[in-house]
Structure 1
């Protein structure tokens, strides 16, 4: 995770409302093919759930995140972690691999991120990532912007949701050998209703609404989204779209 535009991360709330992020992202570890003894950077480590898995696989892992509470949560798992903006990585040829799950869409300066990843990798090192892609949670995003427009609020989208073509071009421009970049639909069951998702993940947009008006705004958004996101059993599903990529430093 990274913290921009008033997005703040609470590890306890994240475990309650966002644990599905690391649970569903665990499959990307298979793509990483981490080997015992490898030095790996977890870029945007969040609360360290996946970082700890890499440690348990015998890897020498460093997690970085711009959220102090998330770094502290990662350290509490016995994992080395540092406060660092993923758009300003300060490593040089130290890592066999850079891994990232559900973090890069919080880093709009993608060119800076990839330049830092490139510097951090050893020659031949690999970069494996999954994050929000084009159309990610579009139903929610469109409803949010409509609700803000009704309040005469115009705020830019805080997320970077690229097309696979765009992201491939960025990787190649940096000099990476791209093995694949894919956009994967992943309808995602939410642990609660959409209001919990909004208060956990959409703070940059909700912060534009006066605090005393937010409960009413959230209730109205839930009513608007119920027909398209809530199934007959009362379960809420979000239209996640994920970019998954595998590249290496030539």
Structure 2
């Protein structure tokens, strides 16, 4: 998976990611003097909100561009470029928080083991990410358009991990977590740009789907995807993505 994220494009066209994540902070309930790890912090907006509680936050992300932007925006918070499945951190955390990140990590069992290892006893893990059939209408249209253009697309080319809630909570329990909260829900998400919203979404999040086709034909494929999705996903003058989310909380016993 590519980690070359456009941090400016992310902040200005896809700020809904961090806006929806604000609800997750309520589930985390950070307290003064707690130590919280924001796993997949992006450009740091949610890490900054967590600090308003008086908690100390460390934000990590695999993208150098995202971390560079986060450091520019919030110089008083510690941010590190780090792979979530190889956590190299000193000391234990009262909480690990993750929003819109875990579906990018296919090594889910290894990820959960890493999270468990950095938590204090009774520490909590709170996360939200894409679940079964997340953005399925959009990704089906992309894959169909790729194949119609004469290119192959295999299961292993799909860049995300979208589990069922039962699958993921079972993995948490196998790791040692006590699952105290779990929900799966649909959240149709309005995209920022009324005209180019779906194209912008594909450029930001779907480039890995298009890795199987030459760069010079991607624009044509995206145009065909837009036509396929127009009747279903362009609603009352706005583009929507068919998000399905999982939200969980687990305790380290």
Bigger mean CA offset, 119-128 vs 47-56? 47-56
Task: Indicate the SS of the match to 1:213.
Answer: helix
Superposed, which structure 2 residues align to 1:179-194 within 5 Å? 179-192=180-193, 193-194=197-198
Cα distance in 2, alignment partners of residues 65 and 8 from structure 1 = 11
Cα distance in 2, alignment partners of residues 96 and 89 from structure 1 = 16
CA contact (8 A) 2:233 2:241 kept: yes
Deviation at 1:154, TM superposition (A): 1.5
The ranges of structure 1 where at least 4 consecutive aligned residues each deviate by more than 3 angstroms after the TM superposition are none
Cα distance in 2, alignment partners of residues 157 and 172 from structure 1 = 26
Question: 2:89 aligned with 1:88, yes or no?
Answer: no
Question: 2:219 aligned with 1:215, yes or no?
Answer: yes
Aligned-residue RMSD, C-alpha: 1.2
Determine which of 238, 241, 245 is the counterpart of 1:238.
Answer: 241
CA contact (8 A) 2:3 2:63 kept: no
Task: Indicate the SS of the match to 2:230.
Answer: helix
Deviation at 1:93, TM superposition (A): 5.3
Cα distance in 2, alignment partners of residues 82 and 91 from structure 1 = 10
Deviation at 1:205, TM superposition (A): 1.1
Cα distance in 2, alignment partners of residues 147 and 16 from structure 1 = 28
CA contact (8 A) 2:87 2:114 kept: yes
- TM-score (norm. length: structure 1): 0.95
Determine which of 18, 32, 37 is the counterpart of 2:14.
Answer: 18
CA contact (8 A) 1:14 1:200 kept: yes
Deviations along 1:104-139, one digit per CA (max 9) or x if unpaired, are 011110011100000000001000000111110010
Deviation at 1:141, TM superposition (A): 1.1
Task: Indicate the SS of the match to 1:15.
Answer: helix
Deviation at 1:36, TM superposition (A): 0.8
Q: Give the aligned partner of residue 117 of structure 2.
A: 119
Cα distance in 2, alignment partners of residues 70 and 101 from structure 1 = 14
Deviation at 1:87, TM superposition (A): 1.4
Cα distance in 2, alignment partners of residues 38 and 7 from structure 1 = 30
Which ranges of structure 2 fall in alignment gaps of 5 or more residues?
none
Task: Indicate the SS of the match to 1:207.
Answer: helix
Cα distance in 2, alignment partners of residues 240 and 205 from structure 1 = 17
Determine which of 5, 11, 16 is the counterpart of 1:9.
Answer: 5
> How many residues of Structure 1 are paired with residues of Structure 2 in the alignment?
245
In structure 2, the CA distance between the partners of 1:117 and 1:199, relative to structure 1 (3 Å rule), is same
Superposed, which structure 2 residues align to 1:8-47 within 5 Å? 8-47=4-43
CA contact (8 A) 1:93 1:123 kept: no
Which ranges of structure 1 fall in alignment gaps of 5 or more residues?
none
Cα distance in 1, alignment partners of residues 66 and 249 from structure 2 = 26
Cα distance in 1, alignment partners of residues 170 and 91 from structure 2 = 23
Deviation at 1:56, TM superposition (A): 2.3
Determine which of 58, 63, 79 is the counterpart of 1:62.
Answer: 58
Q: Give the aligned partner of residue 154 of structure 1.
A: 153
CA contact (8 A) 1:8 1:203 kept: no
